[in-house]
A = this chain, B = another copy of it.
Amino acid sequence: MATELYDLTVVPFTRGLRALSALLDKAVAHAATQGVDPETYLALRVIDDMNPLIKQVQTACDSPKLCIARLSGIAAPVNDDSEATIAELQTRIADTLGYIASVPREAIDGQEAREVTLTFPGGEMKFLGQPYVTGFAIPNFYFHVTTAYILLRGAGVPVGKRDYMGERV
């Protein structure tokens, strides 16, 4: 029985990215009721030395994109993080959803023992596919979706836990 990697990755990532997109839609709608420019939300941050909302959304897209590319070996879109508006972030989310939807289940399932190497300025981390997904990609993804949610919630956008959880895929 057990759980195949596709169900551990593409399925919840799709749900989370759609939830993130809907959060941004609610932010735009709320801004309109307040007479504020919704783009000002993009600079929201928890504290000065933490990334702002725009970067949280970009990273929330990179996390599933890179995960699926690393597991499948199928090239992912290259993003230069040039988004400057909510509309552009929505395109980024849609493109990410499109990429992960384009990768067939057969390219992901069975990659539990695939070697995954992440490189950072300070060195590298080596994983096998399964612990990479459960111990790195998933917590990282939810970190950035939650942070985006909290930044909007803290700014008064009327969203609740169900908006974070999203709709079942």
Contact = CB atoms under 8 A, between A and B. Distances in A.
A112 interface: yes
A146 interface: yes
B154 A46 contact: yes
A62 B150 CA distance: 21
B2 A154 contact: no
A7 B135 CA distance: 10
A38 to B, nearest CB: 18
Interface in A84-136: 109-110, 112-113, 130-131, 133-136
Given A138-B142, A139-B142, A150-B147, A4 B2 contact: yes
A112 B153 contact: no
Given A135-B15, A138-B142, A161-B143, A50 B2 contact: no
Contacts of A43: none
Contacts of A110: 1
Contacts of A131: 168
A12 interface: yes
Which has the most chain B C-beta neighbours within 10 Å: A133, A134, A139? A139
